[in-house]
A and B are shown apart, each in its own frame.
Chain A
Amino acid sequence: MLLDGLARLGRSGLGALERLGRAHLLLAGMVLGIGEILRRPGLLIAQLFNIGVLSMLIIGVSGLFVGMVLGLQGYYVLAQFGAAESLGVMVAASLVRELGPVVTALLVAGRAGSALTAEIGLMKATEQLSGLEMMAVDPVRRILTPRFFGGVLAMPLLAAMFSAVGVLGGYFVGVGLLGVDSGSFWSQMQSKVDFHEDIVNGVIKSVVFGVVVTWIALFQGHDSVPTSEGVSRATTRSVVHAALAVLGLDFVLTALMFGE
């Protein structure tokens, strides 16, 4: 009875370790396959289109609204302290440091990560991956590597768009609707937001999120049970795990970068 429980615990622990090992082997395989996309840049471009271009609309619209909400909420709090001129700093700093990378990563996980998992899972279920292997084409290099690097490249660009559109949204609400002075909005922002500390760290964050989100999505697809139910479960897991990993890593990265 007790031994059974112990055995079950041990089995799940070993299973988790095995999955972790497979995930890292897959990551290594994808990174080592970088030569493939140098030989065939068309593969990477197609994935940049799928992950990047098709996500632009949702990123732009969410960025605009998040920036506008930040402008509204920030104004009401800051106006109580007579510091409405600092609105630009608040909007820009929170977007560039946190909201830009994190919300973009969550949106990409939902919009593109789930699609990647389902695509790879279905390729596995319909034995296209094994078919490629039969033809002596490495499916990891041919199929997964371009998707991985597409996600890693697209994420920081999407996050930058999110932040930029968000700052414009905050400007529109703060200066256009609420009457904050336009000059102090920009000048306060420029004097308080630091290029290296805020913007570069934000970009580093989004590159890390890009790696994590695409890696999780591709691994879940590649590791899914090749049935329709297995693919559906892998898709769910992909989004949930990616969201949890992004939020957890965000705390760690913030503590490392901004905690002095």
Chain B
Amino acid sequence: MGKQRGIEILVGLFMAVGFVALFFLAMQVSNLSAAVNSDGYRLTARFSNVGSLKARSPVSMAGVRVGRVEAVTFDKDTYEAVVTMRIDAATDTIPDDTFANIFTAGLLGEQYIALEPGGSMEYLGDGDEIAHTQSALILEQMIGQFLFSKAGGD
């Protein structure tokens, strides 16, 4: 009986340690603590070029993440990229003349959408489209333009 009880205690300990490890992985290692809650609302924006923006790229305002990109699709009629993003429900006061830019975090970092609020008192709601957008800066294009203007300036 004593031996059986010892085994039971050790197995209980084993399972507890296993669940603690899983909990540690979930809370400390992954982003569950900053949960990507699926509530919130959707906004869309059209860009002529999204660069390397992907689903799950961050959407930020004033440098703080307020949502994530949900999908990037291509509109075959207007030849534009349509970005669907999900904004956290708490951030429900985005003016309807907000500017959406695609920036790069650092020189080699990932691309993200930065929202710059306008001055309107009308707020965007679920399914609305951000009208003012600025496409991703493509490094090769910029270098090309720079070289071209240098050569033309002579």
**Chain A residues in the interface with B (C-beta under 8 A):** 42, 45-46, 48-49, 52-53, 56, 81, 92, 96, 154, 156-158, 160-161, 163-165, 167, 186, 189-195, 198-199, 203
- The 8 Å CB contact of B25, one of A49, A154, A158, A160, is A160
Q: Which residues of B contact A96 (CB under 8 A)?
A: 25, 29-30
- Chain B residues with Cβ below 8 Å from A156 are 18, 22
Q: Chain B residues near A46 (CB, 8 Å)?
A: 7
The answer to whether A194 touches B31, judged by C-beta atoms less than 8 angstroms apart, is: yes
Verify if B149 is at the interface (C-beta below 8 Å from A). no
A–B complex contacts, Cβ < 8 Å, 19 sampled: A42-B4, A45-B7, A48-B15, A53-B14, A81-B108, A161-B17, A161-B21, A163-B29, A165-B21, A167-B24, A167-B25, A190-B28, A190-B31, A194-B31, A195-B31, A195-B32, A199-B25, A199-B29, A199-B30
Q: CB-nearest residue of chain A relative to B6? A: A49
Inter-subunit contact B29/A157 (CB<8 Å): no
Q: Which of B7, B10, B18, B26 contacts A161 (CB 8 A)?
A: B18
Q: A163-B25, A190-B30, A199-B22 given. 18 additional CB < 8 A pairs?
A: A45-B7, A48-B15, A49-B10, A53-B13, A96-B30, A156-B18, A157-B21, A157-B22, A160-B18, A160-B19, A160-B21, A161-B17, A161-B18, A163-B21, A194-B31, A194-B56, A195-B26, A199-B32
Question: A-contacting residues of B (Cβ < 8 Å)?
Answer: 4, 7-8, 10-11, 13-15, 17-22, 24-26, 28-36, 56, 108
